[in-house]
Amino acid sequence: MKDKVFEKPIEKMFEFDEAVASVFDDMLSRSVPFYDEVRRLIISLILAEQRDGKKVLDLGSSTAKFLLDLHSGMDSKMQLKGLDNSQAMLDRAEQKAQAFGAEIELELADMLTYNYGDEDIVVANYTLQFIRPMQRTGLVQSIYDGMNDDGLFIFSEKVVFEDKQLDKQMIDIYYEYKKQQGYSEYEIAQKREALENILIPFTIKENMDICMRAGFKRVNTVFQWANFVTFVARK
Protein backbone atom coordinates (compact mmCIF):
# COMPACT_ATOMS: atom_id res chain seq x y z
CA MET A 1 0.00 0.00 0.00
CA LYS A 2 1.30 3.47 -0.90
CA ASP A 3 2.34 5.84 1.89
CA LYS A 4 -0.19 8.69 2.10
CA VAL A 5 0.02 9.21 5.86
CA PHE A 6 1.03 12.87 5.61
CA GLU A 7 -1.30 13.98 2.84
CA LYS A 8 -3.68 15.23 5.54
CA PRO A 9 -2.90 17.70 8.35
CA ILE A 10 -1.17 15.98 11.24
CA GLU A 11 -3.08 15.69 14.50
CA LYS A 12 -0.37 14.13 16.68
CA MET A 13 3.33 13.37 16.90
CA PHE A 14 4.68 10.50 14.80
CA GLU A 15 3.97 7.04 16.16
CA PHE A 16 4.07 3.52 14.74
CA ASP A 17 0.31 2.98 14.79
CA GLU A 18 -1.97 1.10 12.38
CA ALA A 19 -1.96 3.95 9.85
CA VAL A 20 1.83 3.81 9.64
CA ALA A 21 2.04 0.00 9.83
CA SER A 22 -0.26 -0.37 6.83
CA VAL A 23 2.14 1.58 4.56
CA PHE A 24 5.43 1.10 6.40
CA ASP A 25 7.24 -0.98 3.78
CA ASP A 26 6.49 1.63 1.11
CA MET A 27 7.41 4.44 3.51
CA LEU A 28 10.83 2.92 4.15
CA SER A 29 11.60 2.25 0.50
CA ARG A 30 10.67 5.81 -0.51
CA SER A 31 11.93 7.71 2.55
CA VAL A 32 15.27 6.03 3.26
CA PRO A 33 17.81 6.26 0.41
CA PHE A 34 19.11 2.85 -0.75
CA TYR A 35 17.10 1.12 1.99
CA ASP A 36 16.63 -2.06 -0.05
CA GLU A 37 20.32 -2.19 -0.96
CA VAL A 38 21.36 -1.70 2.66
CA ARG A 39 18.98 -4.44 3.75
CA ARG A 40 20.55 -6.82 1.23
CA LEU A 41 24.05 -5.78 2.35
CA ILE A 42 23.28 -6.54 6.00
CA ILE A 43 21.71 -9.86 5.08
CA SER A 44 24.85 -10.78 3.12
CA LEU A 45 27.01 -9.95 6.15
CA ILE A 46 24.87 -12.17 8.36
CA LEU A 47 24.75 -15.05 5.86
CA ALA A 48 28.55 -14.95 5.63
CA GLU A 49 28.64 -15.94 9.32
CA GLN A 50 25.57 -18.17 9.48
CA ARG A 51 25.52 -21.47 11.35
CA ASP A 52 22.89 -23.67 12.93
CA GLY A 53 21.63 -22.24 16.20
CA LYS A 54 23.08 -18.75 15.73
CA LYS A 55 20.72 -16.15 17.18
CA VAL A 56 19.75 -13.03 15.26
CA LEU A 57 17.71 -10.35 17.02
CA ASP A 58 16.12 -7.52 15.03
CA LEU A 59 15.26 -4.46 17.14
CA GLY A 60 12.30 -2.50 15.82
CA SER A 61 11.44 -5.37 13.49
CA SER A 62 8.22 -3.63 12.30
CA THR A 63 6.49 -5.75 9.63
CA ALA A 64 9.34 -8.32 9.60
CA LYS A 65 10.40 -7.60 6.02
CA PHE A 66 14.09 -7.76 6.96
CA LEU A 67 13.72 -11.03 8.89
CA LEU A 68 11.65 -12.62 6.13
CA ASP A 69 14.26 -11.73 3.52
CA LEU A 70 17.00 -13.07 5.79
CA HIS A 71 15.00 -16.26 6.36
CA SER A 72 14.57 -16.85 2.64
CA GLY A 73 18.34 -16.64 2.08
CA MET A 74 19.44 -18.96 4.90
CA ASP A 75 21.11 -22.31 4.33
CA SER A 76 21.32 -23.01 8.05
CA LYS A 77 18.87 -23.10 10.92
CA MET A 78 19.55 -19.77 12.59
CA GLN A 79 17.13 -18.58 15.25
CA LEU A 80 15.44 -15.37 14.14
CA LYS A 81 13.61 -13.05 16.51
CA GLY A 82 11.99 -9.66 16.05
CA LEU A 83 11.30 -7.16 18.82
CA ASP A 84 8.87 -4.27 18.47
CA ASN A 85 6.78 -2.11 20.80
CA SER A 86 3.99 -1.60 18.24
CA GLN A 87 1.24 -4.21 18.26
CA ALA A 88 0.05 -2.95 14.87
CA MET A 89 3.46 -3.72 13.38
CA LEU A 90 3.62 -7.14 15.02
CA ASP A 91 0.15 -8.09 13.81
CA ARG A 92 1.25 -7.49 10.21
CA ALA A 93 4.53 -9.26 10.83
CA GLU A 94 2.72 -12.34 12.20
CA GLN A 95 0.45 -12.45 9.16
CA LYS A 96 3.40 -12.25 6.76
CA ALA A 97 5.45 -14.87 8.64
CA GLN A 98 2.51 -17.29 8.58
CA ALA A 99 1.86 -16.63 4.89
CA PHE A 100 5.49 -17.47 4.02
CA GLY A 101 5.74 -20.34 6.49
CA ALA A 102 8.74 -18.69 8.14
CA GLU A 103 9.87 -19.70 11.62
CA ILE A 104 10.37 -16.29 13.17
CA GLU A 105 9.74 -15.44 16.81
CA LEU A 106 8.07 -12.07 17.31
CA GLU A 107 7.71 -10.33 20.66
CA LEU A 108 5.97 -7.19 21.85
CA ALA A 109 8.57 -5.57 24.10
CA ASP A 110 10.40 -2.38 24.97
CA MET A 111 14.01 -2.63 23.79
CA LEU A 112 15.08 -0.41 26.70
CA THR A 113 13.95 -2.93 29.30
CA TYR A 114 14.34 -6.16 27.31
CA ASN A 115 16.52 -8.84 28.90
CA TYR A 116 19.31 -9.26 26.33
CA GLY A 117 21.20 -12.51 26.55
CA ASP A 118 23.00 -15.06 24.38
CA GLU A 119 22.62 -12.99 21.17
CA ASP A 120 25.07 -13.54 18.31
CA ILE A 121 23.87 -10.79 15.98
CA VAL A 122 21.74 -7.77 16.83
CA VAL A 123 20.34 -5.59 14.05
CA ALA A 124 18.80 -2.14 14.50
CA ASN A 125 17.90 -0.44 11.23
CA TYR A 126 17.01 3.22 11.85
CA THR A 127 15.90 2.39 15.37
CA LEU A 128 18.34 4.01 17.82
CA GLN A 129 17.51 7.46 16.46
CA PHE A 130 14.05 7.15 18.02
CA ILE A 131 15.52 6.44 21.49
CA ARG A 132 16.00 9.49 23.69
CA PRO A 133 19.71 10.52 23.65
CA MET A 134 20.09 10.08 27.42
CA GLN A 135 18.89 6.47 27.12
CA ARG A 136 20.83 5.49 24.01
CA THR A 137 24.12 4.81 25.78
CA GLY A 138 22.47 2.45 28.25
CA LEU A 139 20.68 0.60 25.46
CA VAL A 140 23.89 -0.03 23.51
CA GLN A 141 25.56 -1.16 26.74
CA SER A 142 22.73 -3.64 27.37
CA ILE A 143 23.06 -4.96 23.82
CA TYR A 144 26.82 -5.42 24.26
CA ASP A 145 26.47 -7.10 27.66
CA GLY A 146 23.93 -9.56 26.27
CA MET A 147 25.97 -10.61 23.24
CA ASN A 148 28.16 -13.66 22.86
CA ASP A 149 31.88 -13.20 22.20
CA ASP A 150 32.64 -12.16 18.61
CA GLY A 151 29.02 -11.03 18.23
CA LEU A 152 27.96 -8.39 15.71
CA PHE A 153 25.87 -5.29 16.28
CA ILE A 154 24.74 -3.94 12.90
CA PHE A 155 22.79 -0.71 12.84
CA SER A 156 21.79 2.03 10.42
CA GLU A 157 21.12 5.62 11.41
CA LYS A 158 20.30 9.00 10.01
CA VAL A 159 23.16 11.26 11.10
CA VAL A 160 24.01 14.93 11.47
CA PHE A 161 27.30 16.63 10.61
CA GLU A 162 29.38 18.86 12.85
CA ASP A 163 30.03 21.07 9.82
CA LYS A 164 26.82 23.11 9.81
CA GLN A 165 27.19 24.18 6.19
CA LEU A 166 27.63 20.58 5.08
CA ASP A 167 24.75 19.48 7.31
CA LYS A 168 22.44 22.01 5.66
CA GLN A 169 23.54 20.83 2.21
CA MET A 170 22.81 17.21 3.14
CA ILE A 171 19.35 18.17 4.41
CA ASP A 172 18.62 19.97 1.15
CA ILE A 173 19.85 17.00 -0.91
CA TYR A 174 17.63 14.66 1.10
CA TYR A 175 14.70 17.03 0.62
CA GLU A 176 15.14 16.79 -3.14
CA TYR A 177 15.44 13.02 -2.88
CA LYS A 178 12.04 12.76 -1.18
CA LYS A 179 10.45 14.94 -3.87
CA GLN A 180 11.90 12.59 -6.49
CA GLN A 181 10.21 9.70 -4.67
CA GLY A 182 6.81 11.32 -5.23
CA TYR A 183 6.31 13.08 -1.90
CA SER A 184 4.80 16.55 -2.14
CA GLU A 185 6.31 19.55 -0.35
CA TYR A 186 3.28 19.48 1.95
CA GLU A 187 3.84 15.82 2.88
CA ILE A 188 7.54 16.45 3.50
CA ALA A 189 6.79 19.42 5.77
CA GLN A 190 4.09 17.49 7.63
CA LYS A 191 6.38 14.54 8.33
CA ARG A 192 9.22 16.81 9.41
CA GLU A 193 6.90 18.47 11.94
CA ALA A 194 5.59 15.13 13.20
CA LEU A 195 9.13 13.81 13.74
CA GLU A 196 10.46 16.93 15.44
CA ASN A 197 11.89 15.98 18.86
CA ILE A 198 11.00 12.33 18.11
CA LEU A 199 13.84 11.44 15.72
CA ILE A 200 17.09 12.83 17.16
CA PRO A 201 20.18 11.87 15.13
CA PHE A 202 23.79 11.75 16.33
CA THR A 203 26.97 12.38 14.37
CA ILE A 204 28.93 9.44 12.94
CA LYS A 205 31.54 9.91 15.68
CA GLU A 206 28.92 9.95 18.44
CA ASN A 207 27.43 6.68 17.18
CA MET A 208 30.86 5.05 17.02
CA ASP A 209 31.88 6.40 20.44
CA ILE A 210 28.78 4.90 22.08
CA CYS A 211 29.78 1.49 20.76
CA MET A 212 33.42 1.81 21.80
CA ARG A 213 32.48 2.95 25.31
CA ALA A 214 30.18 -0.05 25.63
CA GLY A 215 33.16 -2.32 24.92
CA PHE A 216 32.96 -3.20 21.23
CA LYS A 217 36.51 -3.75 19.97
CA ARG A 218 35.92 -2.60 16.39
CA VAL A 219 33.36 -0.25 14.81
CA ASN A 220 33.25 0.44 11.08
CA THR A 221 30.93 2.11 8.62
CA VAL A 222 30.01 -0.10 5.66
CA PHE A 223 27.63 2.21 3.81
CA GLN A 224 26.87 5.92 3.57
CA TRP A 225 24.66 8.04 1.39
CA ALA A 226 24.60 11.69 2.48
CA ASN A 227 23.23 11.61 6.05
CA PHE A 228 22.33 7.90 6.15
CA VAL A 229 24.98 5.50 7.50
CA THR A 230 25.28 1.80 8.34
CA PHE A 231 27.65 0.69 11.12
CA VAL A 232 29.07 -2.70 12.08
CA ALA A 233 30.40 -3.19 15.62
CA ARG A 234 32.24 -6.37 16.63
CA LYS A 235 32.39 -7.57 20.24
Average pLDDT over residues 193-208: 77
What domain range includes position 79? Answer: 18-159+203-234
Residue 49 belongs to a domain with what CATH number?
Answer: 3.40.50.150
Q: What is the average per-residue pLDDT within 12-34?
A: 58
- Quick: pLDDT tens for 187-197: 544 555 544 45
Identify the pLDDT of residue 186: 44
Asked whether the whole model's pTM tops 0.75, one would answer yes
Q: What are 159's strand-pairing partners?
A: 202
> pLDDT of 147-162, one tens digit each?
999 999 999 999 999 9
Residue 102's pLDDT is: 92
Task: Say if 165 falls within a structural domain.
Answer: no
The answer as to whether 43 is a domain residue is: yes
Query: Which residue would you say has higher pLDDT here, 94 or 190?
Result: 94
Q: Does residue 109 have a pLDDT over 90?
A: yes
- Whether 4 is in a domain gets the answer no
In a domain, 5, yes or no: no
What are the C-alpha distances in Å from 3 to residues 19, 26, 137, 217, 225?
9, 6, 32, 40, 22
Name the domain count of the chain.
1
Residue 28 located in a structural domain: yes
What sign has the CA pseudo-torsion 108, 207, 36, 193? positive
Average pLDDT of span 199-225: 95
Q: Tell me, yes or no, whether 180 lies in a domain.
A: no
- Look at residue 198 and tell me if it is in a domain: no
